[in-house]
Amino acid sequence: MMPILHKFDLPSDVHGRPAFNSSSDLNKIPNLGDYDIDENLPQSIQSKYFTVSELSSLETNLKDLSIFHTNIRSLSRHHDELTSLLSSLDKQFDVIGVSEMWHSEENPILTNINIYGYQFFHTKSLSQNGGVGLFVKSTLCSNDRDDLNCQCEEFETIWIEIDTKKR
């Protein structure tokens, strides 16, 4: 089953943080199936879902910032699968994003989730099955932007700053 790409309409709220525009009657959550992320991306950014074989054969430029994202559905449970997949590829990603880490105050991650050569940033969830994280290559100059991170009942965000000039 191939996932569907989505875009988010993120206007600023009163605190200057991004906020979802509501287009759903249920809990004022946007109907994400009505959006397509590729319409809003600059032409230089490529957003596509890949199979493992397509990802393995993908040619990348070492000068470009490379980002990998997966909806992990429990980082503790699927960490070994993630690291196995990454080690089977002939390339390393600068940033590895994980969503649905299942990391909250009630459901903390109790196992080692580090990836060698990466620094981990995360935002806990207010729900049991949420939480987002970014593994950023240790060779990149990166800073957590806690002032921009957000967590609410419907979603959470994580923001980091990467100085790509110091690669």
147 and 87 both lie in a single domain:
yes
75 and 140 both lie in a single domain:
yes
Amino acid 36: pLDDT: 54
CA angle 104, 144, 96 (to 5 degrees): 75
What's the sign of the alpha-carbon dihedral 43, 156, 122, 49?
negative
Q: What is the percent of the chain where pLDDT is above 90?
A: 33
Helix%, strand%, coil% for the chain, nearest 5: 20, 25, 60
pLDDT at 163 over 70: yes
Residue 13 lies in a domain: yes
Average pLDDT over residues 58-70: 83
Confidence class for position 52, pLDDT limits 50, 70, 90: confident
103 and 162 both lie in a single domain:
yes
Using an 8 Å Cβ cutoff, are 131 and 110 in contact?
no
pLDDT at 150 over 60: yes
Domain that holds residue 12: 1-39
152/23: higher pLDDT: 152
Residue 157 lies in a domain: yes
Burial of 124 (0-12, 13-18, 19+ CB in 10 A): buried
Alpha carbons within 13 angstroms on the beta-carbon side of residue 123 total 23
What's the domain count of the chain?
2
Phi, psi of 53 (to 5 degrees): -65, -40
Nearest Cα to Cα of residue 102 among 38, 44, 156? 156
Amino acid 17: pLDDT: 46
10 and 86 both lie in a single domain:
no
Task: Name the token pair of 44.
Answer: 């230089």
| pLDDT tens by residue, 69-119 | 999 999 999 999 999 999 988 788 999 999 999 888 887 887 889 999 999
Which CATH number do you get for residue 114?
A: 3.60.10.10
CA distance 133 to 118: 12
pLDDT at 43 over 80: no
Mean residue pLDDT of the chain comes to 76
Amino acid 1: pLDDT: 36
| Among the ranges given (5-9, 58-62, 65-69, 96-100), the one the predictor scored with the smallest mean pLDDT | 5-9
Map residue 61 onto helix, strand or coil: coil
35 and 73 both lie in a single domain:
no
Rg, the chain, Cα only: 17
> Which residue in this structure is represented by tokens 């994202």?
69
Q: pTM for the complete prediction?
A: 0.69
